[in-house]
Chain A
Amino acid sequence: MNTTLNELKKGQSAKIIEFKNPETRLQSARFGIEVGQVIKCIAKLGTVVIQKNQQQIAIGKGLSKEILVKEV
């Protein structure tokens, strides 16, 4: 079932389904994160920290609500 990034629990992995905010989508592409990839939530502080391979990205709550993911 699809959910948003901020709903993930620490340690959960998920596949990115959609970036609702186009600016975030472009910035994510630069960071190397895009639709279809699997990321892992490694910290939840209101702010979500996700990891993909060796890369960690901190995403504010407001943005993380606009990123659709699917748990895997």
Chain B
Amino acid sequence: MSLLSCGGCKGCSANQKIKTDGKLLNIALVGNPNVGKSVIFNVLTGYYVEVSNYPGTTVDTPTADTSFGKLIDTPGIYGIGNHNDEEIIAKNIVLNSDIIVNVVSALSLERDLFLTLQLIDMGFPLIVVLNQYDEAISNGIKINSEILEKHLGVKVITAIATKNQGICQIKDLLTNNSQITSGIVSDYLKNFIADENLEKVKRIEIISELESDFDKKEVIYSSRRKKINKIIENILSTKENDFTISGYLGNLLLNPVAGVITAAFVLFALYQVVGVMVAGNIVDFLENKILLKYYFPFITNIINSIIPSGSINQILVGEFGLLTMTFQYILGLLLPLVFSFNLFMAILEDSGYLPRLAALTDRFLTKLGLNGRAIIPLILGFGCITMATITTRILGSQRERTIATAVLGLIIPCSAQLGLIIGLIAIAGGLKAWLIYLITIFTILTIVGTVLNKILPGESTHLFIDLPPMRLPLFKNVINKTLSKTKHFLIEATPLFLLGSLFISILQVSGSLIFIQKALAPLTVNLLHLPPETANVFIMGLIRRDFGAAGLAGMAGLNGGIAVLNHSQIIVSLVVITLFVPCIASVVIMFKERGWKEASLIWIGSWVSAFITGSFLSNVLRIFM
């Protein structure tokens, strides 16, 4: 990592006061969600980190060495404690820091100062960065930062990080850090801590202990709030601004009618971008024009010249080959889909739309034993179940995580599969087929959620979230976030794909695959009234559901081949493949996240629900279609 020079800032060579035995100082960036921490990290270091407008989506803590110390970004938190994963991560970083850069938003100072006072109470040397000052001004808010400095006893720097304003002052202060102080201890703490000059470490311990005692915590919290109210009264003046675009848009999205229309529009746009443009055109181009035409012959020739035939050859370049199919899936299919989906999600996340969608869908999700927060993993699931299963961590209880994981594993089709489903439905009779498909899937979703909500012990948590202001996403951030997520996904998915391909290749080479196909045939023919070859599709679906859907596409004549399925058979097989077991990658993650008991139940449950629903639908359609 390179050291970043101070550019035009003054005072870079001044001597430092806060030191840790020749080692770099640990400087933590701490603040509430959506106050611009990550943007500040980016401009201070020149590195890019993910900027998220939805709490819980950032678990990484980027670190960078700079000329003034080692800068560490932390997840957005409302207070230091053990309230959730993010707080625990942030707390651990804070406890090991020499200096804290506390970022607060001028737009929500009243909320943000709670964390500031908590940090000051813990005795950390601190700088307060009063960020997003432009947004405050456009909302008619004025803040006297000099008086704020006096109240807190620490340096306050006014900044607009997105426009690079105030950044030089932060660098100057961090470089010449003799001016960084640890603030004025709050009076309310004097009842609890006798010696005002206790060592830092000791103070943190005492305060952590105090705050783990519910009654004492309440006293401290409410005194802290009172102090903040007094400060706010002295420093903040508001002039009622009746209208801001951000405010108007934010409230419009909370209107049930406008909210539903917007949600429908967003889904349509997602379908157009990911489903039609990328899944259709770009993936088709990559697979057919590049991989199948140039790469496959090339790699097959090389391997054939070394190992002309046999099991090893099959495993490397056969039907499910490590160098052929796996390569094709990861680079030809998943990379463009995951990239475009992440791009779309990044724009949604940074705009502040998702928390409003969470508020809008909360009521329905409550009936399924979830709350509005669950809309995030569910929506992510339409991109990739694997990624979404990890995101269920943001949910408030184990119970909700179980329900969300089950819904993801059983019902939600991923983007690659969705693209194929949409194409097949067009063949099977357009709107009518769509309605049958959607109603069936939605009914199963409701049944699964409602039943789990009834049988699982305990209680789900309720929605309680802060809605960040609507903002125009920054192009740079959106791109960087998309790249970083795509990279993470590739790193995680690739080994699993190799493993999956190896497994099915071994089945094929050993002859077990044919045996399984035969064993499954009665199920498909007798139960679902489908041709026996459909068994192949389900075997393929065991590895990945979109792999199975691709097999269906061939059987339905989507690629110009001969159709062996009629319209109702297409709908039935689509429903079955949607409800069928999630791909190997997500199953592995499910086992990791939920344990073997729950994950196996979900896996078996998906067999049961897929075939029962398929059989039921098949009989109904035979009567009516």
Contacts and interface: CB of A to CB of B under 8 A. Distances in A.
Nearest to B220: A29
A62 B464 CA distance: 10
A11 B17 CA distance: 54
Contact of B359 (A24, A43, A53, A54): A43
B376 to A, nearest CB: 13
B141 interface: yes
A54 B254 contact: no
- The bracket for how many chain B residues form the interface is 35 or more
Interface in B203-243: 214, 217-218, 221-222, 224-225, 228, 238
A55 B105 CA distance: 11
A60 B462 contact: yes
A57 B464 contact: yes
A63 B355 contact: no
A17 interface: no
Contacts of A22: 214, 218
A24 B255 CA distance: 25
Interface in B107-147: 107-108, 110-111, 114-115, 139, 141
Interface stretch (B159-167, B172-180, B465-473): B465-473
Contacts of B464: 24, 27, 57-60, 63
Classify the interface of chain A: helix, strand, loop or mixed. Answer: mixed
A62 B355 contact: no
Contacts of A62: 366, 462
Classify the interface of chain B: helix, strand, loop or mixed. Answer: helix
Interface in B31-56: none
Nearest to B215: A22
Contacts of A58: 355, 358-359, 362, 372, 463-465, 467
Given A30-B114, A49-B359, A58-B372, A43 B251 contact: yes
Contacts of B114: 29-30, 32
Given A31-B78, A31-B111, A42-B251, A57 B363 contact: no
B362 A45 contact: yes
Contact of B362 (A27, A30, A46, A54): A46
B467 to A, nearest CB: 4
Contact of B363 (A29, A42, A46, A63): A46
Contacts of A42: 251, 254
B377 interface: no
A57 B356 CA distance: 10
Given A26-B218, A30-B114, A62-B366, A47 B255 contact: no
A61 B111 contact: no
A24 B217 CA distance: 13
Contacts of B251: 42-43
Contacts, number: 105
B467 A47 contact: no
A70 interface: no
B107 A45 contact: no
Nearest to B226: A34
Nearest to A53: B110
B543 interface: no
B86 to A, nearest CB: 13
Contact of A55 (B79, B110, B214, B359): B110
B467 A49 contact: yes
B449 interface: no
Given A47-B359, A47-B362, A61-B363, A30 B108 contact: no
Contacts of B141: 54
Interface in B342-396: 355, 358-360, 362-363, 366, 371-372
B495 interface: no
A25 interface: yes
B256 interface: yes
B548 interface: no
A54 B111 CA distance: 10
Nearest to B467: A56
B275 interface: no
Interface string B233-274: 000001000000000001100111001000000000000000
Nearest to B78: A30
Contacts of A63: 462-464
A54 B467 contact: no
A54 B372 contact: no
Contacts of B222: 29, 34
Interface centre among B355, B366, B372, B465 (most CB of A within 10 A): B465
Nearest to A43: B254
A43 B255 contact: yes
Contacts of A46: 362-363, 366
B254 A49 contact: yes
Contacts of B259: 45
A63 to B, nearest CB: 4
A47 B218 CA distance: 26
28 contacts: A25-B218, A26-B218, A30-B79, A30-B115, A31-B111, A32-B228, A42-B254, A43-B251, A45-B359, A47-B372, A53-B110, A54-B139, A54-B469, A56-B250, A56-B467, A57-B465, A58-B359, A58-B362, A58-B463, A58-B464, A58-B465, A59-B462, A60-B366, A61-B362, A61-B363, A61-B366, A61-B462, A62-B462
Given A47-B359, A60-B371, A62-B366, 5 more contacts: A27-B83, A34-B222, A34-B225, A47-B463, A59-B462
- 5 closest A-B pairs by CB: A60-B462, A46-B363, A32-B111, A60-B463, A43-B254
